[in-house]
Amino acid sequence: MNANENQNNVVDATSRNIAQELQSTENPVSEFDSENTSLNRLPTSELMKRVSNMRKIDRFRWMLTEGCGNSNCDNENCVSSGKIKPLNPRDAAALALHLYHIRAKVCETSRGSKVPRTQSPTPLFTTLESTNLNFSNEGSESSAPEFKFLTENVVRAIVNTCQNESRYSLLVRTIMEIFSKTDKLAKSFLKIEQTQRFNDFTSRNLTVLEKETLRELEGETEKDVDSLQNSKISFDWSSEETQIDFFALRKSYQSVFQLPSHVFESSFIRALMLLAENTEMELKVELKGKLCNPEDVEKYVISFLIVFEMPAVGNPEYVDRALPQLCRAMSYLPYSALARICRVWARHCQNSFKNILELLHQLITARTIDNGDEKRRHLQDNVDIISATKVMKVLYYANALAGKMESPLNTKDEDYDNPEVDSKYSLFPDTDLRYSVYQGALFAEDPLAAELKIDLIDCIKPYIPFSEFYNEPLSDTIEMDKDYTNYKSAIRLETLGASSSRCDSKTVSDKFFSFMTHPFILTPATKTLGLFYDNRIRMYSERRICVLQSMNGDPPNPYLKLQVRRDHLIEDALMRLELLCYESPQDFKKQLMVEFEGEQGMDEGGISKEFFQLIVEEIFNPDYGMFTFNADSQICWFNSVSFENDSQYTLIGLIIGLAIYNNIILDVRFPMVVYKKLLGKKGTFNDLEDSNPVLYNSLKCLLEHQNNDVEEVYMQTFRISYRDPFGSIVYHDLLPDGDKISVTLCNKQQFVELYADFLLNKSIAKQFNAFRKGFRVVTDESPLKFLFRPEEIEILVCGSKNFNLKELQESTRYDGGYDSSSTIIKYFWEFAHSLSHINQRKLLQFTTGSDRVPVGGLSQLHMIIAKNGPDSDRLPTAHTCFNVLLLPEYSTKEKLHDRLMKAINYSKGFGML
Which residues are CB-neighbours of 410 under 8 A, at least 6 positions away? 682, 684, 753
Amino acid (1-letter code) at residue 890: Y
Q: What is the DSSP letter of 265?
A: H
Q: Decide: helix, strand or coil at residue 637.
A: strand
Cβ count near 644 (within 10 Å) = 15
Q: Decide: helix, strand or coil at residue 76.
A: coil
Q: What span, in angstroms and rounded, lies between the C-alpha atoms of 491 and 485?
A: 11
Active-site pick, 73, 349, 798, 881: 881
Of the candidates 744, 760, 896, which has an alpha carbon nearest to the alpha carbon of residue 831?
A: 896
Distance from the Cα of residue 381 to its chain's centroid: 19
Cβ count near 463 (within 10 Å) = 18
Burial 108-131 (b: 16+ CB within 10 A, else e): ebbbbebbeeeeebbbbbbebeeb
Q: Decide: helix, strand or coil at residue 244.
A: strand
Backbone angles phi and psi of 723, in degrees to 5: -100, 125
Q: What span, in angstroms and rounded, lies between the C-alpha atoms of 696 and 706?
A: 18
**Based on the number of CB atoms within 10 Å of its own CB, is 855 exposed (0-12), middle (13-18) or buried (19 or more)?**
buried
Q: Decide: helix, strand or coil at residue 886.
A: strand
Active site residue 798: no
Give the chain's radius of gyration (CA, Å): 35
Q: What is the DSSP letter of 434?
A: G
Burial 717-737 (b: 16+ CB within 10 A, else e): bbebeeeeeeeeeeeebbeee
Cβ count near 537 (within 10 Å) = 11
Cross-strand bridge partners of residue 723: 729
491 neighbors 378 (Cβ within 8 angstroms): no
Helices (H), 167-290: 169-179, 182-185, 193-202, 211-218, 225-229, 246-257, 261-285
Of the candidates 839, 771, 454, 461, which has an alpha carbon nearest to the alpha carbon of residue 620?
A: 771
Which residues are CB-neighbours of 689 under 8 A, at least 6 positions away? 696
Cross-strand bridge partners of residue 719: 733
Helices (H) and strands (E) in the chain, counts: 39, 12
Q: What span, in angstroms and rounded, lies between the C-alpha atoms of 211 and 219?
A: 12
Q: Decide: helix, strand or coil at residue 405.
A: strand
Of the candidates 292, 327, 339, 786, which has an alpha carbon nearest to the alpha carbon of residue 519?
A: 786
Q: What span, in angstroms and rounded, lies between the C-alpha atoms of 564 and 662?
A: 18
Amino acid (1-letter code) at residue 7: Q
Alpha-carbon dihedral sign for residues 800, 804, 805, 808? negative
* E strands, 829-883, in order: 864-867, 877-879
Amino acid (1-letter code) at residue 336: S
Burial 278-310 (b: 16+ CB within 10 A, else e): bbbebbbeebebeebebeebbbbbbbbbbbbbb
Q: What span, in angstroms and rounded, lies between the C-alpha atoms of 426 and 753?
A: 30
149 neighbors 229 (Cβ within 8 angstroms): yes
Amino acid (1-letter code) at residue 702: L
Q: What span, in angstroms and rounded, lies between the C-alpha atoms of 593 and 542?
A: 14
Catalytic residue set: 881
